[in-house]
A and B are shown apart, each in its own frame.
Chain A
Amino acid sequence: MRIGFYPGCSLNGTSREYNESVKALAKAFDLDLAEIKDWNCCGATAAHSVNKDLSLSLPARILALAEQQGFEEIVVPCASCYNRLSVVQHELTHDEALKQCVTDILEIPYNGTVKILNVVQMIEKYMQDKIEEKIVHPFSHSVACYYGCLLVRPHNILQFDRLEDPQSMDTLMTKIGATPIDWAFKTECCGAGLSVSRTDLVAKLSGNILKDAADRNAKAVIVACPMCHSNLDMRRPAINSYLTKPVDIPVLYITQAIGLAIGISPKELGIERHFVTVNLN
């Protein structure tokens, strides 16, 4: 099965272990992820905070390239990229004039026919039926599945999972032997793009998330977004100076947790790239 792959900038930089673990999982499940050639940045928060046309055109070029290269379906593991690509596709599908305006800016054809999958949807569609038979080391830990904002909202566009208490990651974690906890911060924002400009606020928001997970005895936080990961993991020193009691819970990508359970080596999954040591036995 050959599917288009849009890594986005984070997966080639600060979150390369996410990239490594997505690819390792795809290989284990015989899924052929082919990178969209000459892709560009989706513009993320910066573009839509500053200029609407830019925030539409950058993702539209990516989708146009995917069409041009013959992909019917693309996997977008970064929740922020997934969100931007999906929102832009939705807006252009529902506004012919806007679509014309963006096509004029791009000067390449855009039809908006590519199906966009986030990483959880990729696992659900191509892997979940085969996960259980592949398990060699059950992931027998209590886990807090942290969905963040951009994977589930806006619901009317993404139509993915439940808004307030999503379940898809929890279900997948159960399949690998983990016990997902019920907690209050599944979809609360981690501070996202304020990581560099307002680290103080990210420490507070991410600190509240980790504290609830720790208070409810989670042994790991499971994520599907590079921004959530870097805020909860890389910003841990700032978080721990905000919290009265430091938290040492590791943060794993969902692809890493499943990868470990099916026997892929920690090295191949990039586990050692985390700031907070993953020490689960």
Chain B
Amino acid sequence: MENSESIPVRLLKQTGVDVTHCYQCGKCTAGCVLASEMDYPSSYVMRLLQTDDRENYQQVLHSNAIWLCLNCENCIARCPMEIDIPKIMDYLRAESLKAGYVNKKAKPVVAFHRAFLDSIKYTGRLYEVGLVAGFKARTFRITQDLKVAPVMYLKGKLNLMPEMVKDLGKIKSIFSKTVNNKNRENK
């Protein structure tokens, strides 16, 4: 970090969440449905952030855990200190993208988010066929879900053409003032 501010204080200023309130009871990890899949479960992430150690912070930004987190909010629901861990996870994901630290295993998750946002940017609404095409192009998973798509079509669940918001200029302007503004996140 260029400035002298500690990592917990910076997190507090950026998100309003004070990670030093965590006393490592482990309830968040115990209730997390994906803890067993994570390299660092949520209580460990909290601990790494508390240490105010640059290497530990980078380790968190490099982790697969921040991208596996579903933001299901079970952790905050059960935290005796009501620490908003999902909000911290949102912040860490954005920082991880900005720093180019995304874990290799998390690439498909990030590809999905990007394909999702691209779809909204161009039409204002999610175009599911475009989303899947964008995801496949980014991940080379060309054959995924090939069996599901025809059934979806037959059941009337797939729109072949996108729905468009009329005021697309507004949507584009929202994107240019937010994601496409200050931080170039596309790596």
Which residues from chain B contact A12 at a C-beta distance below 8 Å? 125, 159, 163
Which residues from chain B contact A77 at a C-beta distance below 8 Å? none
Min CB gap B172→A, angstroms: 11
Interface mask (B140-153 → A, CB under 8 Å = 1, otherwise 0):
00001101100110
Interface mask (B54-90 → A, CB under 8 Å = 1, otherwise 0):
0000000000000110111110110000101000001
- A100 at the B interface (CB under 8 A): no
What residue in chain A is nearest B112 (Cβ atoms)?
A197
Which residues from chain B contact A115 at a C-beta distance below 8 Å? none
The answer to whether A106 touches B156, judged by C-beta atoms less than 8 angstroms apart, is no
Report Cα–Cα, A6/B121, bound state, in Å: 19
- Which B80-123 residues have a C-beta within 8 angstroms of A? 82, 84, 90-91, 93-94, 97, 108-109, 111-114, 116-117, 120
- A92 at the B interface (CB under 8 A): no
What residue in chain A is nearest B168 (Cβ atoms)?
A40
The answer to whether A50 touches B77, judged by C-beta atoms less than 8 angstroms apart, is no
- The one of B90, B152, B177 that contacts A105, using a Cβ cutoff of 8 Å: B177
Name the prevailing secondary structure of the B interface residues: helix
Report Cα–Cα, A275/B145, bound state, in Å: 14
A38-B166, A193-B112, A275-B151 known; A50 and B74 CB under 8 Å?
no
Which residues from chain A contact B165 at a C-beta distance below 8 Å? 38-40
Interface mask (A263-280 → B, CB under 8 Å = 1, otherwise 0):
000000000111100000
Which residues from chain B contact A214 at a C-beta distance below 8 Å? none
Report Cα–Cα, A239/B113, bound state, in Å: 23
- The one of B109, B151, B167 that contacts A194, using a Cβ cutoff of 8 Å: B109
A13-B128, A41-B126, A154-B73 known; A49 and B120 CB under 8 Å?
no
The answer to whether B93 touches A49, judged by C-beta atoms less than 8 angstroms apart, is yes
Report Cα–Cα, A16/B128, bound state, in Å: 13
B interface residues, how many (CB within 8 angstroms): 61
What residue in chain A is nearest B136 (Cβ atoms)?
A196
Number of A-B contacts (CB under 8 A): 162
The answer to whether A50 touches B185, judged by C-beta atoms less than 8 angstroms apart, is yes
- The one of A52, A108, A196, A272 that contacts B112, using a Cβ cutoff of 8 Å: A196
Report Cα–Cα, A43/B171, bound state, in Å: 11
A46-B117, A61-B174, A234-B152 known; A187 and B74 CB under 8 Å?
yes
- A198 at the B interface (CB under 8 A): yes
Min CB gap A108→B, angstroms: 8
Question: Which bucket holds chain A's interface residue count?
Answer: 35 or more
Report Cα–Cα, A39/B167, bound state, in Å: 9
A44-B116, A163-B77, A273-B155 known; A49 and B174 CB under 8 Å?
no
- The one of B37, B139, B158 that contacts A13, using a Cβ cutoff of 8 Å: B158
Report Cα–Cα, A197/B67, bound state, in Å: 11
- The one of A41, A155, A274 that contacts B120, using a Cβ cutoff of 8 Å: A41
Min CB gap A225→B, angstroms: 12
- A173 at the B interface (CB under 8 A): no
Min CB gap A166→B, angstroms: 12
- A149 at the B interface (CB under 8 A): yes
Min CB gap B87→A, angstroms: 9
The answer to whether A153 touches B72, judged by C-beta atoms less than 8 angstroms apart, is yes
- The one of B34, B116, B171, B174 that contacts A46, using a Cβ cutoff of 8 Å: B116
Which 9 residue pairs across A and B have the least CB separation, nearest first? Answer: A9-B126, A189-B72, A153-B73, A46-B116, A149-B72, A54-B178, A197-B112, A53-B178, A46-B113
